[in-house]
Structure 1
Amino acid sequence: MQTFIAFIVAILILVSLHEFGHYIVARWCGVKVLRFSVGFGKPFFTKKRGDTEWCFSPIPLGGYVKMVDTREGNVSKADLPYAFDKQHPAKRIAIVAAGPLTNLVLAVLLYGLSFSFGVTEIKPFVGTVEPSSIAAKAGFQSGDKILSVNGEAVKDWPAAQTEMVLALEAGKVNVAVQTASGEAAVRIIDAAGTPEAGKIAQNKGNIGLVPFKITNRLELVEKGSPAKAAGLKAGDTLLAANGKALKDWMEWANLFRKSPGQKIDIVYERGGKTFTAGLRPDTKELSDGTLIGRAGLAPQTDEAWDKQIRREYTPSVPEAFKMGWDKTVGYSTMTLKFFGKLVTGQASLSHVSGPLTIADIAGKSAEHGVQSYLEFLALVSISLGVLNLLPIPVLDGGHLVYYTAEWIRGKPLSERIQAVGLRFGLAAMLMLMLVAFFNDINCLFG
């Protein structure tokens, strides 16, 4: 229910404001607006104010603004001066562009509001490398500072991670780093076409890099877990298993995972003294039938390292909204680059998500609090704005191309050219929607 409500609220806010951008500029340009509808289908609530009907409709997956337009039916002689298609191309361009630009402005405001609550920056340092992962095979080492990915400079951990994931299936990924000893090096990720890369594109896996260093000291031992039954407590430090010293927490995690139902002889330290215990991980079956072990404990992070890579502060209001502007510009540019890579075959269609994934993320972000949900809304608003500005007929960007061409030529493009463009645009968007739904179903339901 929380996921459903978070998704519906997101759609209503983002789409309604998108359409309101069209509406308000249309009124400024002297165009008569007949209907403003939130949702699709037959309206269940209608209120007329002036010339416009304000409606709520039952399908909350979008909305629309209906203007007087001679192409959509007979228009009275008195309304002809207020018809959309009778306006100068510059006015039509302004009306069409207002929707997606409203989404981008909204993203700046949402990010600015979120950042005004406080900001946590994670520097692009590698804390932990998962054994046998894509990152381990590429030679990443704990302490590496990521400087750039395929020549694109990165300033923080999220930017580094995003650049690597988007480039993963396009070929080799060259990651420039500064090692813990201060030397320059290049880590080359060559995983294109591998099952691991495919899982990462579908949000079912990861490259194997974590910015935090994880210790063998226990932060949490769950009640009723195998670890609790073995006598382990928070604050204990794990030393060895089955006679072998394990210094890396990822080794412990892999051992527990690969030992469902098997007894593990553990040596641990508590209060300066050494103890032994037998731990038998519970057996858990994954959706694909794989059996894994679960011990029921969680490790502490390295506090000294955490202080080195994490920066928490509360910016002033002007600084927060300046950061919101920079974030919006950065994500908009990244989104445009992604669509460009899709067209040239340098990015995987597996990264395309639809409403089911958006709903899932909406619910999860809402669980993490208001700040997380605001940033989710901002990111989706950017995607909606940039997508609608693409020069594809049926999208706002396609109409912008038509009206710009008309302004330059002094007359509209021929009906034949517009019809061909419309068919192309419908085919392209239908294909994109099918891919998005396929990815959603595959990701969420396996």
Structure 2
Amino acid sequence: MSILITLLAFALAIGVLVTVHEYGHYWVAKRCGVKVLTFSIGFGKPLLRWQRGETQWQLAAIPLGGYVRMLDEREAPVPVAELDRAFNRQTVGKRMAIVVAGPVANFLLAIFVYWAIFLNGVDVLMPKLGSIEPHSLAAKAGFSVGDTIVAIDQESINSWAEARLGLIERAAAKASVQVEVLRPNGAAVSRTLDFAEIDNEWIDGELAGRIGMSIAVYRNEIGPLLPDGAAAAAGLKQGDKIWKVEDKPTPDWPSFTAAVRARPNLPTRVSVLRAGQPLEFQVLPKSVQEGDQTIGRIGAAPVLDMDAMHALSKSMQYGVVSALGQALHQTWATSSLSLKMMWRMVLGNVSVKQLSGPVAIAGYAGKSAQYGLRAYLEFLCLISISLGVMNLLPVPVLDGGHLMYYFAEILRGRPLSERAMELGQRVGVGLLAALMVVAVFNDLTRLVGG
């Protein structure tokens, strides 16, 4: 059933985003007086087609994209009576407007959907740290349980989502960042995180956890166990209250996991309370490679303290105008972060392993759909923004590549030669093919590794 949901969620997302993108091109082309011959959702052999006015609309076999084909002398002879409606005969300004309309439509879709979400009211998680992993980057910087993040490099932080994005952006820049926090006693203090030597593969959505900070508040007990894990083999059970590891008290889940991680392949005494009675077990943590470290794992998951987590949630209500302001801000912030991450990837500050292909995107679509309508709509916004940003990159074949040609035409006073544009197209196709190979390889690696 989950596979079916994933496929349907992915197909719906791609269908909506491609339709919106291509309709942007179509709508502006019609307003500029250009004749649109074909509006296709998908590539390859048409599965369904119908004629509406002078345009043939169709659904094609390969659903990973679409196109709008316009009257153009470079593609086929154009009757003299329709020369003024050919795309190539339009002014450079009109051609630029038609090309940029696709990405703009994707940004407008994201703004509209975000506006609807904010107008309906949203629940956000406050950036109050519920756990700090011992010996982690966050612990070394002085962060403590109960700290509430209020600013990052003097930029106000109002939610955990904003804090995570702010940290990712600074980590990608390999920068030293000042984080202002409020202690539980109300004191305001500053913490410094130095990302200069951080592993490039850490810079993703899980960065906060990788550096040892989380808003999650865990109960000090054993959660679900892997059937073939070391904890289950030793006799530990779900619900056991964590007490000590090797006679060292472990008063919370982070201290327990830190003690276990430090003992790969070493016999370890774990003391728990079961129904109020103290019990001791001999556990052999499995040796696991994590980056350049060898750590121990016993196959036990934590248990969230749901009362504490609910206390972190805050409801935010917006009016029509303020919701639009939030939507614009969210779209701009996401677009800006996407561009910065792409540039950092070019510089080598972010691993190319962060690239995702259709398999990963389909997985995200399925998961978000199962989490509910709002999660799926937020996923739709994120992919729509990513599609808009990617298409504006100055790469031949993409919309941004065509804009680059038109800017060159303005500077030169005449269009680029057919030879130059053909060469650019080949380079663009090669670059996109290489990126797709890397993205699909990453997808398969995650699939096999997961």
Q: Return the TM-score normalized by structure 2.
A: 0.82
Residue 300 (structure 1) aligned with residue 302 (structure 2): no
- Residue 37 of structure 2 corresponds to 34
* Mapping of residues 200-279 of structure 1, within 5 Å: 201=204, 206-216=210-220, 238-240=242-244, 243-253=247-257, 266-268=271-273, 274-277=276-279
For residues 23-64 of structure 1, give each alpha carbon's deviation from its aligned partner in whole angstroms, at most 9, with x where no partner exists: 111111111111111111110111111111111111110111
- Residue 67 of structure 1 corresponds to 70
Tell me how far apart the structure 2 counterparts of residues 127 and 47 of structure 1 sit (CA, whole Å). Answer: 57
Residue 388 (structure 1) aligned with residue 391 (structure 2): yes
Which shows bigger deviation, 7-16 or 318-327? 318-327
What amino acid sits opposite 1:298 in the alignment?
V
Extract unaligned runs of 5+ from structure 2: none
Tell me how far apart the structure 1 counterparts of residues 154 and 347 of structure 2 sit (CA, whole Å). Answer: 19
Residue 192 (structure 1) aligned with residue 197 (structure 2): yes
Tell me how far apart the structure 2 counterparts of residues 162 and 252 of structure 1 sit (CA, whole Å). Answer: 28
User: Structure 1 354/153 Cα, relative in aligned 2: closer, same or farther at 3 Å?
Assistant: farther
User: Structure 1 172/317 Cα, relative in aligned 2: closer, same or farther at 3 Å?
Assistant: closer
Tell me how far apart the structure 1 counterparts of residues 334 and 161 of structure 2 sit (CA, whole Å). Answer: 11
Deviation at 1:365, TM superposition (A): 0.8
Deviation at 1:13, TM superposition (A): 0.7
Tell me how far apart the structure 2 counterparts of residues 318 and 333 of structure 1 sit (CA, whole Å). Answer: 23
What amino acid sits opposite 1:300 in the alignment?
D
Deviation at 1:108, TM superposition (A): 0.9
Residue 103 (structure 1) aligned with residue 106 (structure 2): yes
Deviation at 1:198, TM superposition (A): 2.2
Residue 430 (structure 1) aligned with residue 439 (structure 2): no
Q: What is the CA RMSD across the aligned residues, in angstroms? A: 3.7
For residues 67-91 of structure 1, give each alpha carbon's deviation from its aligned partner in whole angstroms, at most 9, with x where no partner exists: 1100112122222121111111121
- Residue 446 of structure 2 corresponds to 443
User: Structure 1 355/46 Cα, relative in aligned 2: closer, same or farther at 3 Å?
Assistant: same
User: Structure 1 33/119 Cα, relative in aligned 2: closer, same or farther at 3 Å?
Assistant: same
- Residue 87 of structure 2 corresponds to 84
Question: Are the aligned partners of 2:203 and 2:350 in contact in 1 as well (CA < 8 Å)?
Answer: no
* Mapping of residues 387-406 of structure 1, within 5 Å: 387-406=390-409
Deviation at 1:200, TM superposition (A): 5.1
Tell me how far apart the structure 2 counterparts of residues 324 and 407 of structure 1 sit (CA, whole Å). Answer: 34
Tell me how far apart the structure 2 counterparts of residues 255 and 299 of structure 1 sit (CA, whole Å). Answer: 20
User: Structure 1 53/280 Cα, relative in aligned 2: closer, same or farther at 3 Å?
Assistant: farther
Three-state SS of the structure 2 residue aligned to 1:44 is strand
* Residue of structure 2 aligned with 1:159, choices 157, 162, 180: 162
For residues 286-340 of structure 1, give each alpha carbon's deviation from its aligned partner in whole angstroms, at most 9, with x where no partner exists: 899998423466241563x863x53123434443333222211111121222233
Tell me how far apart the structure 2 counterparts of residues 436 and 222 of structure 1 sit (CA, whole Å). Answer: 33
User: Structure 1 154/426 Cα, relative in aligned 2: closer, same or farther at 3 Å?
Assistant: farther
Tell me how far apart the structure 2 counterparts of residues 441 and 148 of structure 1 sit (CA, whole Å). Answer: 38
Extract unaligned runs of 5+ from structure 1: none
Three-state SS of the structure 1 residue aligned to 2:251 is coil
Which shows bigger deviation, 33-42 or 123-132? 123-132
Question: Are the aligned partners of 1:140 and 1:187 in contact in 2 as well (CA < 8 Å)?
Answer: no
Question: Are the aligned partners of 1:147 and 1:175 in contact in 2 as well (CA < 8 Å)?
Answer: no
- Residue 333 of structure 1 corresponds to 336
Which shows bigger deviation, 280-289 or 339-348? 280-289
User: Structure 1 354/150 Cα, relative in aligned 2: closer, same or farther at 3 Å?
Assistant: farther
Tell me how far apart the structure 1 counterparts of residues 410 and 385 of structure 2 sit (CA, whole Å). Answer: 28
Tell me how far apart the structure 2 counterparts of residues 296 and 436 of structure 1 sit (CA, whole Å). Answer: 30
For residues 228-250 of structure 1, give each alpha carbon's deviation from its aligned partner in whole angstroms, at most 9, with x where no partner exists: x87875xx864445644221222
Q: Percent identity?
A: 38
* Mapping of residues 402-413 of structure 1, within 5 Å: 402-407=405-410, 409-413=412-416
Question: Are the aligned partners of 2:131 and 2:213 in contact in 1 as well (CA < 8 Å)?
Answer: yes
Residue correspondences, number: 436
Deviation at 1:12, TM superposition (A): 0.8
What amino acid sits opposite 1:251 in the alignment?
S
- Residue 174 of structure 1 corresponds to 177
What amino acid sits opposite 1:247 in the alignment?
P
User: Structure 1 58/232 Cα, relative in aligned 2: closer, same or farther at 3 Å?
Assistant: closer
Tell me how far apart the structure 2 counterparts of residues 101 and 26 of structure 1 sit (CA, whole Å). Answer: 14
Tell me how far apart the structure 1 counterparts of residues 188 and 159 of structure 2 sit (CA, whole Å). Answer: 20
Residue 365 (structure 1) aligned with residue 373 (structure 2): no
Tell me how far apart the structure 1 counterparts of residues 264 and 279 of structure 2 sit (CA, whole Å). Answer: 16
What amino acid sits opposite 2:215 in the alignment?
P
Q: Return the TM-score normalized by structure 1.
A: 0.83
User: Structure 1 120/5 Cα, relative in aligned 2: closer, same or farther at 3 Å?
Assistant: same
Question: Are the aligned partners of 2:129 and 2:146 in contact in 1 as well (CA < 8 Å)?
Answer: yes
